[in-house]
Amino acid sequence: MIRNVLSIAGSDPSGGAGIQADLKAFSARGVYGMAALTALTAQNTQGVTGVHLVPPHFVAQQIKAVFADVRVDAVKIGMIANAGIAEAVAEALAPHRGIPIVVDPVMIAKGGAALLDPQAVDALTKHLLPLATLLTPNLPEAAALLHEEVAESREQMASQAERLRALGPAAVLVKGGHLESNESPDILATDSGRHWFEAKRVPTKNTHGTGCTLSSALAAELAKGASPQAAVSTAKTYLAQAVAAAGELAVGSGHGPVHHFHALWKDAGL
């Protein structure tokens, strides 16, 4: 049975991040993708130049329409933008406890533009973190959620992962891509302990949408019934291959997108 996964996130018209990246990652990982938009952005590989938010009641209406008709096997939550949207998403998902939910706390775009109202951090923490099967912050996002300094070591990463899990998520994956190192380690904290995932840093500027892509791949694997640890292992391998193949694309002059369909397009002779 092909699984159905819903992304609740913002749009990226250049196709590398947001809803567009989510749908590509869902398809690449063999699940049927659906989308409820929280925001429209004007952006490309060089940065974000504008954001137009969807009214909270209409965000909720989109989510409820999907659940009223379609079996939803997992949910990925990305760009939330403000407290009203956070509350609307939580209210719409409340009747559907038990479905795996991946929360990717999108706060800052690759080019530095803020994508989450600072006053909305507490609303995100209060309303959405307790719903999360898996929370996937990078180091700046983990620090912002905890109102702390950004972790600079593995020890600090592990400590922040545990404190984030105390806020309600069943599991937390703190991503170490911002560490000053040739390595890019991630740590998964669950009720059964901690697990490190090691990875070499890929020398490329084409990293637009990596967080969106990873969280969507995780949602796809959880929808198929994988454990959090197995889902992280599979999703990280997929993302590493997508980043390594990003140079095959010629999209924009800034931070280009990863190659979501690196395996499929090879099969198609491209």
Q: Which of 16, 24, 212, 224 is catalytic?
A: 212
**Is there a contact between 9 and 38 (Cβ–Cβ < 8 Å)?**
yes
State both tokens at 36: 């409820």
Q: Which of 125, 136, 190, 207 is catalytic?
A: 207
3-state secondary structure of 200: strand
Q: Which of 45, 125, 190, 210 is catalytic?
A: 210
**Is there a contact between 158 and 195 (Cβ–Cβ < 8 Å)?**
no
How far is Cα 238 from Cα 215, in angstroms, rounded to an integer? 11
How far is Cα 90 from Cα 70, in angstroms, rounded to an integer? 19
- Sign of the alpha-carbon dihedral angle for 197, 130, 86, 231: positive
Q: Which of 211, 213, 224, 236 is catalytic?
A: 211
| Catalytic residue check, 210 | yes
Say how many C-beta atoms besides its own lie within 10 A of residue 177's C-beta: 17
Partners of residue 10 on adjacent β-strands: 39
Residue 254: φ, ψ to 5°: -110, -130
249 closest CA partner among 238, 237, 262, 236? 262
- Sign of the alpha-carbon dihedral angle for 87, 88, 90, 95: positive
Q: Which of 125, 209, 236, 256 is catalytic?
A: 209
| Catalytic residue check, 212 | yes
Q: Which of 110, 175, 224, 236 is catalytic?
A: 175
| Catalytic residue check, 207 | yes
**Is there a contact between 79 and 9 (Cβ–Cβ < 8 Å)?**
yes
Task: Please give the span between the terminal C-alpha atoms of the chain, in angstroms, as a whole number.
Answer: 29
Active site positions, annotated: 175, 207, 209-212
